[in-house]
Amino acid sequence: MTDFDRAVEAAEFLRGRGFGGADVAVVLGSGLGDFADGLAEPFEVAYRDIPHWPAAGVVGHAGRLVGGLTRGRKVMALAGRVHFYEGHPLATVTFAMRVLGRLGVPRVILTNAAGGINTRFAQGALMLIDDHINLMGTNPLVGPNDERFGARFPDMSEIYSKRLREHAAAAAADAGVPLEHGVYIAVHGPSYETPAEIRAFRVWGADAVGMSTAPEAIVARHEGMDVLGISCITNMAAGVLPAPLRHDEVMETARRVKGQFIAVLEGTIERC
């Protein structure tokens, strides 16, 4: 069975449970899963019950797919994701994007908890991803290309949709939520970065660092979907503040700003 066949089988399973025809899908990062609980007319399925779909295994990732409505739009919320650092190949990490493509979802919003590299950013700030640097050491499109997914050499000059970024900026302004802009750098993990690495990333032009998102964005664009990325700056990166980094701090900060985060998401989706 090919990766395409697996994606088709998972999509057919989900279509039979009402997940077809979504206007937008939202991938919810660490500690950001509360958005899924606010959907109207909700229905859900656990990742473990979807054919070939990998189960989320990190604290803060619920591992469920929730369908429903927000502001008149049909939404699929992916409460949790799997990560490269867990030992999964990137084809597994990005499997959800392949399934969304088979379901015909036109746009996806990728969210994450990230470390702040830009010293202007406050802990708890929301950052609109204008571009990214993939420092994971590989690319999810490595290997034979199945043209049913997309072209061999997809263009990445506007990997994060300008139109969707404008919608998100307008939504944040209407909600009174400050919104930063910046470049996200994706690293392998799972160890946090060293202070020397953070200094190097800053020189390269990175504003925030994390261990996800870039592979999903690449595959979503390969599928022809429009992509929006939003980082929640849940902690300052190594060396920015004189304190060690902790995952529980990530979760605490995400909980603190969840109201602002949800307001921006809902306003953005309304404009899609």
The burial of 1, by beta-carbon neighbours within 10 Å (0-12 exposed, 13-18 middle, 19 or more buried), is given as exposed
How many helical (H) and strand (E) elements, i.e. helices and strands, does the chain have? 9, 9
Give yes or no: 47 in active site: no
Catalytic residue among 9, 85, 170, 175: 85
Give yes or no: 191 in active site: no
Give yes or no: 160 in active site: no
User: Tens of pLDDT along the chain (272 residues)?
Assistant: 899 999 999 999 999 999 999 999 999 986 677 899 999 999 999 999 999 999 876 554 468 999 999 999 999 999 989 999 999 999 999 999 999 999 999 999 999 989 999 999 988 899 999 999 999 999 999 999 999 999 999 999 999 999 999 999 999 999 999 999 999 999 999 998 999 999 999 999 999 999 999 999 999 999 999 999 999 998 766 545 555 556 666 677 777 778 899 999 999 999 98
Give the DSSP H/E element, type plus range, for residue 13: helix 3-15
Q: What CATH fold (topology level) applies to the domain 3-271?
A: Rossmann fold (3.40.50)
pTM score, whole prediction: 0.93
